[in-house]
DNA sequence: GCCCCTTTTTACAAAGTTTTTACAAGTTAA
DNA sequence: TTAACTTGTAAAAACTTTGTAAAAAGGGGC
């Protein structure tokens, strides 16, 4: 009986809130009961943020994790991808994907309280160049 | 980690939906009550996909399983076979055989919902990288 | 050998994805 | 307020993957 080893598949619990659901084994994203088609990079980016929901993820961390870029690399591709992700998340986009100015981005579950809107967010890492 | 059970399983349940039926013991494919004549490779390819209906099967897995090719081999024969399969599946082809860009292909049963099914029993492959 | 059928390769075309570019808009601090 | 810097955005360019037609290659039977 043949078995085909097809790679690692980290067991991550699916995400679900009032509007958005994400299944990491099927690579499926559903928004208000409709499938959202994401490209690979869009998916990787969203997956990383959702798996760290509520946490601020610095640009460098996103560029490192999703693109394999080291901090010296100057690129706008992260911004462009965030923009396209937000577009595909429709009207809830800005609620889901927060911009933390000077730092990075944060995914927030739909009803997450936003008491202390990143007041404490002083740059943890240098951004430039 | 994901495993696909792909080997010479002598007891595979026949597949049937509104338009397509497939009998793996007879190696017979019927589309809207008409027999579809497939070549060996076409049959092997379709059988593998149908037996994993709803799952994304990476190109490398298809090339490994149907052709015995290792991932380094560069060939377009998979694409050509998919094309001929789709041709023989007529108008339903694109509904049955989805292209997952950058990854592989997926057979979907005719009325498959385009979002979540929790097929927790069937391990899948991570799409990343 | 030839014939017939299947499979693979070749060579582009078409489609899809990602990155860059260029500038607008927003933010922060002096 | 201005200057310096960061993020948003649209569009183009660069790049990658898939689709397709046609030719070439392979294989079995006669």
Cβ B40 vs Cβ B105: under 8 Å: no
pLDDT at A126 over 50: no
- What was the pLDDT predicted at A111? 81
Regions of chain B short of the pLDDT cut 70: 1-11, 112-129
Continuous H helices in B1-129: 40-51, 59-62, 77-88, 93-96
Structural domains of chain B in order of their starting residue, each with its CATH number: 38-107 (1.10.10.10)
- What was the pLDDT predicted at B128? 30
The size of chain A, in residues, is 129
d(C-alpha A115, C-alpha B81), whole Å? 57
Helix (H, G, I), strand (E, B) or coil at B93: helix
What mean pLDDT is reported for chain A?
A: 83
The total of other beta-carbon atoms located within 10 Å of residue A31's CB is 19
- What was the pLDDT predicted at B85? 97
Whether B2 sits inside 8 A of A7 (CB atoms) is: yes
Percent of chain A residues topping a pLDDT of 70: 78
Give the CA-to-C1' distance from A101 to C25 in angstroms: 14
Determine the residue among A1, A13, A23, A26 to mutate to test chain B binding: the one whose Cβ has the most chain B Cβ atoms within 10 Å: A26
Distance from CA of B94 to the nearest CA of A (A): 16
- CB-count burial class (<10 Å; 0-12, 13-18, 19+) for A40: middle
d(C-alpha B24, C-alpha B40), whole Å? 13
- What was the pLDDT predicted at B113? 58
d(C-alpha A101, C-alpha B118), whole Å? 38
Work out the pLDDT band at A27, boundaries 50, 70, 90: confident
pLDDT digits (tens, 9 = 90+) for B68-103: 999 989 999 999 999 999 999 999 998 999 999 999
Name the residue closest to the C1' of C21 by its CA.
A76
Closest Cβ–Cβ partner in A6, A21, A39 for B61: A6
Element (H, E) at A46: helix A40-51
Query: Highest mean pLDDT: which of A18-22, A24-28, B117-121?
Result: A18-22
Which strands form A15-16's sheet, in the order they lie side by side? A15-16, A20-23, A28-31, A34-36
CA B97, distance to chain mean position in Å, is 7
């Amino acid at each position: 009986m043949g078995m085909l080893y097809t790679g690692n598949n980290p067991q991550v619990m699916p995400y679900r809130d009032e509007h958005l659901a994400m299944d990491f084994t099927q690579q499926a994203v559903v928004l208000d009961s409709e499938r959202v088609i994401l490209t690979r990079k869009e998916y990787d980016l969203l997956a990383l943020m959702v798996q760290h929901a509520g946490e601020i993820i610095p640009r460098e961390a996103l560029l490192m994790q999703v693109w394999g870029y080291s901090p010296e690399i100057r690129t706008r591709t992260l911004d462009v991808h965030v923009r396209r992700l937000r577009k595909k998340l429709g009207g809830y986009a800005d609620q889901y994907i927060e911009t933390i100015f000077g730092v990075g981005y944060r995914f927030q579950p739909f009803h997450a309280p936003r008491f202390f809107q990143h007041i404490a967010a002083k740059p943890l890492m240098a951004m430039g160049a």
